[in-house]
Structure 1
Amino acid sequence: MSVHRLTLGDVLSEHRRGRPLGTAVVDGDVRLSYPELGDRVDRLAGALAADGVGAGDRVLWLGQNSFRVLELLLACGSLGAVLCPANWRQSADELAHVLDDLTPRLVVWEESEAVEKARSQVSLDARWVRSGEEYEAYAAAGVPLAAEPDVPDDAPVLALYTAAFDGRPNAALLSHSALVAHSMALLHVRQMEDGFAFLACGPLFHVGTMMFTLATFQIGGKLVFTPAYEPTEVCRLIDAERCTQAFLFGPMIDGLVEANKDRRYDLSSLRFVSHSPEWDEMITVDSSPWCASGMGGYGQTEAGGMLTFLGLGMGGAGLAGRPSPLVHVRLLDPSGAEVPAGEVGEICARGHSLFSGYWNRPALNAAKAAGGWHHTGDLGRREPDGTLTFIGPRLRMIKSANENIYPAEVERALKAHPAVADAAVIGVPDERFGQSPKAVVVLADGASATAEEIIEHVRGEIASYKKPREVVFADAIPKKGYTPDYDALDAAHGGGAYPGA
């Protein structure tokens, strides 16, 4: 075992000794100190090992938020196994894909029609344990292992489904060391201090909630879990547990303001971003770089959460700030060469918080790690002051008169038009230029705009050569997963002649 190792289990072990009186988790009637959490994790790891869970095996959580997600993550980590908290809101077909793709050895689940149906659709040799009393009995019966397995800190421990490039998501694998590194960067930018308490009211299958959960764990803070966001309950928990941070964004904040309009709950412990006069009066507006910048930056699950922080580039020209201190970012062209400042290139990165690849996707992993860099699939631009701007996803490139035009950049300009509800850009063959950009536009309900008006708007947003030379109007943009189905758009609107095709 290397003296340089630091796994999530090592962090827990240190907290058991260094914070014996500190509250680790609160979840309903459950309230555990770090030693009590550690004891539960030891027994759970013993139960998992007795069921054959070992290095590289997957354990799946299908349910709402719970402290059990954290203890399962820690127990899996102590065995070299991987926990995947999946989106329990998915359809039966989507859940069946996860089961079939991940092939977990054990599934902890909350009863639902979708889970039951998904279970009937796949042939899976796995132990199923229902969350609640059955889970508690299962964990309590476990016998702690006599010897701690030697788990390297670069071993994957967390899988989160993301990146539906082809309409189906892929499980991004994050290691102990990647999660620790990301936590340390977030601790720095958020200026998390002793006594920090985080309310996990966002979904734990989302990296945004998970990254703050793990950063709070890293610093030995208090984690407060609630099954899902409910405004009155969130207000009550912030008041009762003196929460410092919670997973919140605009509409959720508006819900809290409405739920607490009679000021029955004291939310002043919450050190959060400014939002509205009513909200700012309820909380303590925080001055950390994270909150003062509006909690911005560029991130993705494959980076553990945030790859760049606006808080590290406040006042800069770039809308995504600067990279985390523990990563290295370059903007590369399709040949792998770095583009100069002011030019658009693919955001590529390497460093301590990057993921270990996708589960069971060798070809995709090789493509995403080409040249020794993680290719995010997203486009960005480095500004003259060195800060970064996120442009949008890179799905394909249009080559017009030897100029590179990225559909995502043009789409972003199109969607800035007040009459445009959605838009996609394809390349169509052009005898003079090789290709020219064509926009497919969906107008907002009740709005009107001509093709000429939209083209002129784009000319004002980005370089003139990038503007669409033709605009067609449609009722909807076909999608593949969450992104436009460019193949369908090409077929319907005459796309083709892409470079490299």
Structure 2
Amino acid sequence: MIHSLTLSDVLAEHARSRPQVTAVVDGSVRLTYPELDHRVTLLASALAGQGVRGGDRVLWLGQNSHAVLELLLACSRLGAVCCPANWRQSEDELRFVLTDLTPTVVVWEPSDVTTALHAGAEAGIWVRAGEEYERLLADGSSQEFAQVADTEPALALYTAAFAGRPSAALLSSAALLAHATSLLVVRQMEPGFTFLNNGPLFHVGTMMFCLATLQIGGTNVFTPAFDAEEVCRLIDAERVTQAFLFGSMIDAVTKANAGGKYDLSSLRFVSHSAEWDSMITVDGSPWCRSKMGGYGQTEVGGMLTFLGLAEGGAGFAGRPSPLVQVRLLAPDGSEVATGETGEICARGKTLFSGYFARPDLNAGKSAYGWHHTGDLGRREPDGTITFIGPKLRMIKSGVENIYPAEVERALKSHPAVADAAVIGVPDPTWHQSVKAVVALKPDATATEDGLIEHVKTVLASYKKPRHVAFVAEIPKRGFTPDYDALDAAHGGGNYPGD
């Protein structure tokens, strides 16, 4: 396997070539690359001792932690698959993940939801994060492992709940490192790059920078979740180069650092406001000059196109990564003409390996030899790409994708609801918020607050409706809601691509 390079191989090389570089910072934990490599070896050995074999799944149920990176690297060493789950999900959603993914080992942080899941667990080995995790790691031994092909899946991220339930996209070491290579070129990352993992590691937007930082031999700093004051402190203390930040988060950090309590000048980031720009170093890389623009999804490793590769271009999604091909295809698989709308389809080094246990979905998604993204786009005369919007409806609230089908499923599980449809309405802070349109059963009663609370018991809180409108019936096109009519009647709009 002289042409193979896994995430684990990258770590092992850094342990040799960067023996004094800090790889990980997480609270009181500080690990050099040799120390991280040793821990990953012990962890891989311990997981193998618990029965983890090639292709098996290891699930993380918790917030951000250096343990997520260790588990991913250990799985890469074994040929297993690491899945950091969305800890913000409801008990019902996470129970689905457990049933769907059938993990051999679950590493979990205690919360009301995970404690209930642990108490009712019927399968798998559960290891509590912290002392129990450290004891597991200590049970491992220093040993050699058989070489794993870099085409084997190493990471699973749940995504795309268009049908009401999400699917786990499988990403190989080869795909993840190819994407990291493209990202570190566009971002112009250099040795010494320090990334603050304050965004969720179950989100490809955080994970892609974590892995690019690993690939360049930089430092990954971890904090459990976004907290503006703590982000300021860590940027100052660790001389952070980049963090997972977007509009409202930047505003919160700016407010937390009013008066210049912290030195944020190490942060080389996007220009945002006069006050923000005076605190940081405005970065001149193509990634930051283009406001981190482009088009992407989990299934392509993160970014498929970069606006930074097409500054001044006509298409606001930019040009494709150097390691992929993009075509705009008609339903019959033919390429549409320049200026015409087609489905954004791709193939290349960064593409995922398919969804776990979804053979029918995988067959459809790879029709005609291309990955079908489910999104529409247009090739402009200068060759750049414009993103039009999802083929199927999606709501974008902050950085989160919310699929109407899963919210509708939750609403319909209420005993008073006969039918429901979900639309996105413009929101000044979050771009869009969720609005439910509900038809009740004859003689049944329900309140707006009651339905919102019901959805919160089934789904992650950020997916709940902010507003509920009650109607006699849901307008339909065939068997599906007439979303255009619902938007017109109830103020829908601001969808991705609008």
> Normalising by the residue count of structure 2, what TM-score does the alignment of the two structures yield?
0.81
The residue that corresponds to 2:220 in the other structure is 223
Q: CA deviation at 1:385?
A: 1.0
Distance of aligned partners of 1:342 and 1:483 in 2 relative to their CA distance in 1, 3 Å threshold: farther
Whose Rg is larger?
1
2:157 aligned to which of 155, 160, 168: 160
Superposed CA RMSD in Å reads: 2.7
Q: CA deviation at 1:116?
A: 2.5
Which residues of 2 match residues 163-242 of structure 1 at below 5 A? 163-242=160-239
Distance of aligned partners of 1:327 and 1:443 in 2 relative to their CA distance in 1, 3 Å threshold: closer
Which residues of 2 match residues 58-207 of structure 1 at below 5 A? 58-120=57-119, 123-124=122-123, 126-145=124-143, 147-207=144-204
The residue that corresponds to 2:374 in the other structure is 377
Distance of aligned partners of 1:131 and 1:122 in 2 relative to their CA distance in 1, 3 Å threshold: closer
Contact 1:190–1:289 at 8 Å: present in 2 too?
yes
Q: Distance in 2 between matches of 1:194 and 1:477?
A: 54
Q: Does 1:280 align with 2:262?
A: no
Opposite residue 383 of structure 2, the aligned amino acid is: G
Distance of aligned partners of 1:164 and 1:121 in 2 relative to their CA distance in 1, 3 Å threshold: farther
Contact 1:198–1:246 at 8 Å: present in 2 too?
yes
Deviating beyond 6 angstroms after TM superposition, the runs of 4 or more aligned structure 1 residues are 440-445, 477-484
Q: Does 1:495 align with 2:456?
A: no
SS of 2:35's equivalent? helix
The residue that corresponds to 2:54 in the other structure is 55
Distance of aligned partners of 1:67 and 1:476 in 2 relative to their CA distance in 1, 3 Å threshold: same
Distance of aligned partners of 1:390 and 1:18 in 2 relative to their CA distance in 1, 3 Å threshold: same
The residue that corresponds to 2:365 in the other structure is 368
Q: Distance in 1 between matches of 2:426 and 2:349?
A: 43
Q: Distance in 2 between matches of 1:32 and 1:167?
A: 41
Q: CA deviation at 1:137?
A: 1.2
Which residues of 2 match residues 459-470 of structure 1 at below 5 A? none
SS of 2:376's equivalent? strand
The residue that corresponds to 1:470 in the other structure is none
Q: Does 1:16 align with 2:19?
A: no
Contact 2:376–2:388 at 8 Å: present in 1 too?
yes
Q: CA deviation at 1:117?
A: 2.5
The Cα offsets for residues 29-82 of structure 1, whole Å up to 9 and x where unpaired, read as: 010100000010011111001111010000000001011110110011100000
Q: Does 1:325 align with 2:322?
A: yes
Q: Distance in 2 between matches of 1:378 and 1:111?
A: 37
Q: Percent identity over the alignment?
A: 65
Consecutive unaligned residues of structure 2, counting only runs of 5 or more, are: 397-402, 406-421, 428-434, 440-454, 466-470, 481-498
Contact 1:442–1:476 at 8 Å: present in 2 too?
no
The Cα offsets for residues 231-254 of structure 1, whole Å up to 9 and x where unpaired, read as: 111101101111100000011111
Q: Distance in 1 between matches of 2:48 and 2:309?
A: 43
The Cα offsets for residues 296-338 of structure 1, whole Å up to 9 and x where unpaired, read as: 1000000000000011111111110000000000000110110
Higher relative contact order (CA 8 A, sep 6+): 2
Opposite residue 321 of structure 1, the aligned amino acid is: G
Q: Distance in 2 between matches of 1:222 and 1:130?
A: 26
SS of 2:389's equivalent? strand
SS of 2:474's equivalent? helix
Q: Distance in 1 between matches of 2:23 and 2:280?
A: 24
Distance of aligned partners of 1:283 and 1:167 in 2 relative to their CA distance in 1, 3 Å threshold: same
Distance of aligned partners of 1:483 and 1:324 in 2 relative to their CA distance in 1, 3 Å threshold: farther
The residue that corresponds to 1:460 in the other structure is none
Q: Does 1:296 align with 2:318?
A: no
Opposite residue 135 of structure 1, the aligned amino acid is: Y
Q: CA deviation at 1:165?
A: 1.9
Contact 1:109–1:131 at 8 Å: present in 2 too?
yes
> Normalising by the residue count of structure 1, what TM-score does the alignment of the two structures yield?
0.81
Distance of aligned partners of 1:143 and 1:272 in 2 relative to their CA distance in 1, 3 Å threshold: same
Distance of aligned partners of 1:278 and 1:336 in 2 relative to their CA distance in 1, 3 Å threshold: same
Q: Distance in 2 between matches of 1:122 and 1:105?
A: 12
Q: Distance in 2 between matches of 1:315 and 1:46?
A: 51
Q: CA deviation at 1:118?
A: 3.1
The Cα offsets for residues 137-194 of structure 1, whole Å up to 9 and x where unpaired, read as: 110121123x321210000000000011211110000000000000000011000011
Q: Distance in 1 between matches of 2:424 and 2:106?
A: 42
SS of 2:351's equivalent? coil
Contact 1:64–1:227 at 8 Å: present in 2 too?
yes
Opposite residue 304 of structure 2, the aligned amino acid is: L
Contact 2:75–2:82 at 8 Å: present in 1 too?
yes
Q: CA deviation at 1:123?
A: 3.1
Distance of aligned partners of 1:391 and 1:423 in 2 relative to their CA distance in 1, 3 Å threshold: farther
The residue that corresponds to 2:400 in the other structure is none
Consecutive unaligned residues of structure 1, counting only runs of 5 or more, are: 396-406, 413-421, 425-439, 446-473
Q: Distance in 2 between matches of 1:12 and 1:475?
A: 47
